[in-house]
Chain A
Amino acid sequence: MKNTKVFFGVGTAVVVVVALVVIVLKFAGGSLDVVGKQSITTFGTILQTIPENVEADDVNGGYALAAPDGSVRFIWSTDYSKSAVHDVMLELDAKPFIDAGLDAGKLPENYAAYEDKLMVGTKLGDDALTYGGEAAPLAAYEKIVEKYRSNINYHTALDHYGVMLGDGNMFEWAKDLSTNSTTGEAQDKDIVFVLNPLPLVAAGVNPEQVEGWAYAQVPTDDGDVWKLLKPFDLK
């Protein structure tokens, strides 16, 4: 009798647990990784919002999303086995940094300087990526989520998703373009190019004098950190 009660109790608990998990999963659209899944959706929204700024980048073997002013691009590879230096990266105009004191020879390895551009990013892996159909921009982004989920970030304080480009550099976009804020307060930061100022400072840059970039503290889960930011409002 007692055993029956125990079995009944445990059985009920198991049923409740399974039912709850199933319902929650159903609610989450079948994926446990709701952050990763939603980052795809919202990245797609960004691409659709400024389609004219999205283009194939044959040099880097992927796609590039250019800032509305063209001063900076976020580039992501379609095949990591073919990309030479970085799989995800930022390409930015070098002039504002040179004007602010940059000595390109002092930049760390993840930086590359050529002509009037600076490149900063990271190698995700050596995977030869294959696609069901065409290696479209969003499909290429989905591969990052699928293969290198740890490089996708949700920035709670700003309600942003982001791709981590290594060494504190990031490309971020708003989860919701209409609110673009966890507090409900409107912010003109639909996409943000983020640089870690420390290597640049070490290379002679005065971060407060980089034209077109804001040197500001950004709230993170680990506290406020100084960043060089270039935000854009796409609306």
Chain B
Amino acid sequence: MENRILSIRGMTCAACAQRIERTVRKLTGISQANVNIASEKLFVEYDAAVLDLPSIKEAITKIGYEVVEKTDSQKVTIPIGGMTCAACAQRVEKAIKNLNGVESVSVNFATEKATVAYFPHTVRQPAIREAIEKAGYKALEINKTDAADEDRARKQKEIRTLWTKFTVSAVFSLPLLYIAMAPMIKVVKLPFPAGLDPMQFSLIYALAELLLVIPVIGVGYRFYTVGFKALIQRSPNMDSLIAIGTTAAVLYSLYNTFQIAGGNFAAVESLYFETAGVIITLILLGKSLEAVSKGRTNEAIKKLMGLAPKTAIILQDGVETEIPIEAVEVGDIIIVKPGAKIPVDGAVTDGHTAIDESMLTGESMPVDKKAGDAVYAASLNTTGTIQFRAEKVGGDTALAQIIKLVEDAQGSKAPIAAFADKVSGVFVPVVCLIALAAGIAWFIGTGGDLKFSLTIFISVLVIACPCALGLATPTAIMVGTGKGAENGILIKGGEALETAHKINTIVFDKTGTITEGKPAVTDVLTVQAMGADTLLQLTASAEKGSEHPLGQAIVAGAQDKGLELLRADSFLSLTGRGIEAQIGGRSVLAGNRKLMEERGISLSALEAESDRLAGEGKTPMYVAADGSLAGIVAVADVMKASSRAAIESLHKMGIEAAMITGDNKKTADAIAAQVGIDKVLAEVLPQDKSNEVKKLQSEGRTVAMVGDGINDAPALAQADIGIAIGSGTDVAMESADIVLMRSDLMDVPTAINLSKRTIRNIRQNLFWAFGYNVLGIPIAAGVLFLFGGPLLNPIFAAAAMSLSSVSVLTNALRLKRFKAAT
């Protein structure tokens, strides 16, 4: 029996709790289901053999509640050493998954990391590490403080080791190949030592080959230790294929060496030592190239990790002291001189400067900073010396969060990978069977030609490449998400990346998304005897307590005119309509047509003016004093410079652009016309935005919602892809699938374009990986030979196999050339 505690959102009363309990208890395999409405948690006990956690979550979601993914489980990312192919990743994944208390596990072969969500009360980290070790791999240390350096050093060491192995292997296998091939080449007489003449000194020749192949087998020992271990544990991997193929070649050659020793000199023509040696050398070459290429796929994350400075200068008792970055604490006053990097996140307390935040946002222009402004770790102080108070350190900084987000995204799997994962899981055993079947069939078909059937057997084993299949998706996702991060586009996972390319409708929030979000008062019209300044003063005084951008614009407008704001005796925000306030005994209403109509206030005196203002893209706000219309204060926002170009780009991509706003229809239409919006969803209350998105989805559209991530959170969640634009705040990061670090709308087409390119790249990779195996295996099995075509030499099979992984990686690396839309 498994026990789990799930956090539930959306419950409003005890009835909700009962409903959830009833629903869950109906599921087969549940023995207990109790909801605590106060803590909003569901305690569930179930039989894991008949029911899994995702089914429970699905049942709860279906009845309208949200299961928060982050339950009481913890997440850890463990670097793993010794994985050589996708089957290894599957093996590690299986080993960890078998542990009781593991909620989910995702092993990424490309990053060589296992991301494990587990319940610490059931399973501890050492047990997870032990499971990895037991499966035959190394659970490497997690060093949070200097992860970038350590990871880099480890990768470089691995690359060096592989190159050394390849060099040693090549040093022995090249002469091996030469002495094996030179006597066979008749066209040109290649120099060859007479004492090694295979026909005259057969045994010396065979022993020379044996002596040359043994060091090669020695450096490739891992193929045998890992491969045979995996085979014994009935989960064969790529190493198993190499191990079986080359062992068969070596054993057959050894048998023939004894035949020669016994006087059967014709057996000299059946030596396969060079096949085994060259196969191992080529695979080592492939692995070396693969390691180099894999290192390049996560360069983006390495760059991010390397951005943070290692020390900070803090002000302690009036003395500047340089301390390691890990020793900086919240509240420390930090001094940053021109040319130095900001070590942690904080707020400027003294001085002013311009800070280059391009490494975080992609925005090339330095941003002016003065006292009170926020500064972010890793950004570059360019002009003046500043002091700032540390507010977020270590893993809490924006940089750390971005790194985590990108790392999580790179570790995630796209749905498109599911099929490749399934195939990888059964690939090796199936290939073993095909090799065996082909070998036996040819043995029978050729009337017992063991040499021929062995060639077929080895070729099939060696040409089959699960690595290419395993690398096809994660490498493209890594490069794609990394490239996004370089451009200030944070894509939160493989699924988001995959869905984004299907988007055909994008809904933009208006304020702060299409417009700058900094509205200003443009017109003040009155109908009573009240003067314009009085109306503005009264309205601004009423709006003083408002957090709405329009209200703040009116307050700023009054202050700019030097008008004194009056004290409001009461203030009430009427969501989606406006505000109501009492000022000096006068009742003031400020808001939209709906509010006025609800309160029975006639708008006829200013209806025409209102329409005119709206037609100009301005937002007319009706103001009523003591129950009758007093006037209109019109506010207009400035359009972002990139809005029109961004929407044009989307149109070129065949994507329809919609705008959603609480503004009246006329204003919304006017703004939409200016930027080229196709569909306007006006006068929509904030709580109805998600319904509008839902309506579009019900029309069969795949919808993305672009908003600031706070007011638009429900719509962002409802959309197929939520794109938070702007600040990169915690809220934005959590609510959206894609976070745009800059406020530039051009990043929207860039993100979608990146998604399209990445998915196209994944498809190409999968096509090559599948195509390579689908074509390669039958050729190796002798299908072409059957129809008079060529027979594949195992050496060429090994070369092709190595090249398949390298070609997939090289294709993924092409994504690095992706350029953002301008």
Contacts and interface: CB of A to CB of B under 8 A. Distances in A.
Given A24-B257, A32-B203, A38 B210 contact: no
Interface string A146-158: 0001101110100
Q: How big is chain A's contact interface, by range?
A: 20 to 34
Given A33-B204, A153-B200, A156-B266, 19 more contacts: A13-B214, A13-B218, A17-B210, A17-B211, A20-B254, A21-B210, A21-B211, A24-B206, A27-B261, A27-B262, A28-B260, A32-B204, A33-B203, A34-B263, A35-B201, A35-B265, A154-B265, A156-B269, A182-B266
A70 interface: no
Contact of A34 (B183, B202, B215): B202
B232 interface: no
> What 3 A-B pairs are tightest by C-beta distance, nearest first?
A28-B261, A27-B261, A34-B203
Interface of A: 9-10, 13, 16-17, 20-21, 24-25, 27-28, 32-35, 38, 149-150, 152-154, 156, 159, 175, 182, 221-223
Interface in B199-249: 199-204, 206-207, 210-211, 214-215, 218, 221
Contacts of B262: 27-28
B266 A28 contact: no
Interface of B: 183, 186, 194, 199-204, 206-207, 210-211, 214-215, 218, 221, 254, 257-258, 260-263, 265-266, 269
A9 B210 CA distance: 17
A159 B203 contact: no
B176 to A, nearest CB: 14
A34 B261 contact: yes
Nearest to B268: A156
A47 to B, nearest CB: 19
Nearest to A175: B263
B199 A156 contact: yes
A175 B601 CA distance: 122
Given A156-B265, A156-B266, A159-B266, A28 B203 contact: yes
Contacts of B194: 150
30 contacts: A10-B218, A13-B215, A17-B210, A17-B214, A20-B210, A21-B210, A21-B211, A24-B203, A24-B207, A25-B261, A27-B261, A27-B262, A28-B260, A28-B261, A28-B262, A32-B204, A33-B201, A33-B204, A34-B261, A34-B265, A35-B202, A35-B203, A38-B263, A149-B200, A153-B199, A154-B200, A154-B265, A175-B263, A182-B266, A223-B186
| B186, B254, B257, most chain A CB atoms within 10 A | B257
A223 B186 CA distance: 9
A175 B269 CA distance: 18
Contacts of B218: 9-10, 13
Contact of B221 (A9, A33, A156, A159): A9
Nearest to B217: A13
A149 B202 CA distance: 14
Contact of B199 (A20, A28, A154, A175): A154
Given A13-B218, A33-B204, A150-B194, A24 B258 contact: yes
A152 B200 CA distance: 8
A84 B207 CA distance: 40
Nearest to B215: A13
Contacts of B221: 9
A176 to B, nearest CB: 9
A182 B186 CA distance: 22
A32 B210 CA distance: 14
A12 B218 CA distance: 10
Nearest to B194: A150
